[in-house]
Amino acid sequence: MAIGMASGQSWLDIKGIGRPMSVMFIDEDGPEAELQRRIKHLCTGRGLEPRDLVGLLHAYPSSGLTLNDPVGYATLRQTILNHKAEFVIIDALIAVHSLDENKTSDMRMLMRSLIRGLMRDTGVGIAVLHHEARPQNPKTGSPRPGAMKGRGSTEIINAGDNQLHITSRDGISVMAASRCRLLPLVDWPAPVDYAIKSLDESTQVVPVSADPSVTSCAGILRTLIKSGFELGSLPATHKLLKERGFSGSRSTVWRAIHSLKETAIS
């Protein structure tokens, strides 16, 4: 994401704003050598050199940032202003504060006062990586539903405008929106299946082919639309399809709706 935004290129076939952006990447999850290796390999996969992003991609590995420390907060704020950064990615939330992530009042201060404060003061957009909680059922590994997938207080999730949830299995990752505060549900971005492909010193993050069940669902929807059906909310559309014998998930319906939009429902 950071390299796609800084270079002005697309990311997972998601188009950017049409120009390079000044992006800060704060990596508290690994050593500097590993971060530089990842940047180099991802640049090579895009036909770029790291020097092409000088002045655009600002990477800070293991900086020791503590947002709830006044000095740390002021330093980050000034660094954002110095770089004229338009977007900041923080990896990961647990590493940039010394508060109790299970305490609602602490996370309210972190998310709403400190992180949103930076956004208001500098005009920057901020994406925060946050790890999942342990499954509810340790025997079956069943994941927690919805907003409860994140570790700690639900205030971490509730304070954000948008949430992307990533799951991985058998080498394929799925990125799906689970919150888009400013959009009606039916207009949320469709989930994206992608794979990370590495060869020698080149790494690419590439979308993979659609699930056949999505194609099947899209065919049912296309027939309904041609007979006069109008798309409503996602839950209502899913319910209607289930009444007509469709056994797929709401996520499949979601993807099918977006596949129709991309092809102008022809």
pLDDT at 244 over 50: yes
Pair of tokens at residue 215: 């194609």
Alpha carbon distance 206, 196 (integer Å): 6
Residue 265 has pLDDT above 50, yes or no: no
Condensed to tens digits (0 to 9), the pLDDT of residues 180-229 reads 888 876 677 777 888 999 988 999 998 887 667 777 888 888 888 888 88
Name the residue with higher pLDDT: 155 or 217: 155
Average pLDDT of the segment spanning 40-68: 96
The per-residue pLDDT for 245 is 84
Strands (E), the chain: 23-27, 57-61, 87-91, 125-129, 162-169, 172-180, 192-199, 202-207
Q: Is the pLDDT of residue 61 over 80?
A: yes
pLDDT over 50 (residue 79): yes
Please tell me the distance from the alpha carbon of residue 144 to that of residue 163, in angstroms, as a whole number.
Answer: 15
- Residue 186: predicted pLDDT: 65
Q: Quick check: 124 and 80 in contact, CB under 8 A?
A: yes
Structure-token pair, residue 146: 């919805």
Question: Phi/psi at 89 (nearest 5 deg)?
Answer: -115, 125
For residue 73, pLDDT over 50 is answered with yes
Contact criterion met (CB below 8 Å) for 248 and 238: no
Share above pLDDT 70 across residues of the chain, in percent, rounded to a whole number? 89
Residue (of 155, 201, 253) closest to 38 by Cα position:
201
**Mean residue pLDDT across the chain:** 87
Largest CA distance in the chain: 63
- Helix axes of 250-262 and 234-243: crossing angle, nearest 10 degrees: 110
Q: Who has greater pLDDT, 250 or 95?
A: 95
Name 193's Cβ contacts closer than 8 Å, sequence gap at least 6: 172, 173, 174, 207, 208, 209, 210, 211
Which pLDDT does position 232 carry in this prediction? 77
pLDDT (mean) for 34-48: 96
Dist CA 174 CA 234 (whole Å): 19
Question: CATH number of 2-160: 3.40.50.1370, 3.20.20.70, 3.40.50.12780, 3.40.50.300?
Answer: 3.40.50.300
CB 159 within 8 A of CB 111: yes
Whole-angstrom Cα distance, residue 211 to residue 248?
A: 11
Model confidence pLDDT, tens digit, residues 88-145: 999 999 999 999 999 999 999 999 999 999 999 999 999 999 988 766 555 555 555 5
pLDDT for 146 beyond 50: no
Tokens of 45: 């996969």
pLDDT of residue 223: 84
CA distance 237 to 250: 9
- β pairing state of 172-180 and 162-169: antiparallel
